[in-house]
Amino acid sequence: MSGGTTFESEIMRHLDAAHNLARWLARNDQDAEDVVQEAVLRAYRFFGGFRGGDARVWLLAIVRNTFYTQRSQSPAVGSVDEFDEAIHGGEDGDDPQSVLLRAADAQSLHAALERLTPEFREVLVLRELEECSYKEIASITRLKIGTVMSRLARARARLERELTAAAGGTT
């Protein structure tokens, strides 16, 4: 690494993205915090081997791998905390009905995302929320770009079905 590169300057600035991915994979805040904490420890431990490139992609790959490692080592837990990020606020000039409609739309979207499998959720979160390129997603997930594109298309179709079913009142 170059002389001025530090763990803090390269990795720590991507903690929000790491937590966002962990939250969507783990589906609750407590588990997401555990995943991020372990991932940051791993990143710190192996930072000497980081040879440059996109530190965000490198950290997100560690978060993803940490989640799947922890998931395979622990029994499934039935409790899922509500995920209500950014759905309660509105802009000052918004009328209450607009605020409620936006909140309902956001809640529907979050609920539909929660119903997707982790494999579909992760590509949607990486692409749509973290704005990763297909190449970055492929690097993070260790998939071929064509597989990423295909999985993303299937995830979007599944999300659309979930939203349509929810709007129609069917489950």
For residue 118, what are its two tokens? Answer: 């982790």
Alpha-carbon gap, residue 111 to 105, rounded angstroms: 10
CATH of domain 7-73: 1.10.1740.10
- Residue pLDDT, tens place only, 78-109: 333 333 333 333 344 455 555 545 555 677 78
17 exposed, middle or buried (CB, 10 Å; 0-12, 13-18, 19+)? buried
Amino acid at 146: G
- How far is it between the farthest Cα atoms of the chain? 59
Flag the least confident range among 24-28, 33-37, 97-101.
Answer: 97-101
The predicted-structure confidence for 92-151, as pLDDT tens digits, reads as follows 445 555 554 555 567 778 888 888 998 999 999 999 888 999 999 999 999 999 999 999
Name the CATH code of domain 96-168 (choices 3.30.70.520, 3.40.190.10, 1.10.10.10, 3.40.1410.10). Answer: 1.10.10.10
How is the chain split into domains, by residue range?
Answer: 7-73, 96-168
Is residue 170 over pLDDT 70?
no
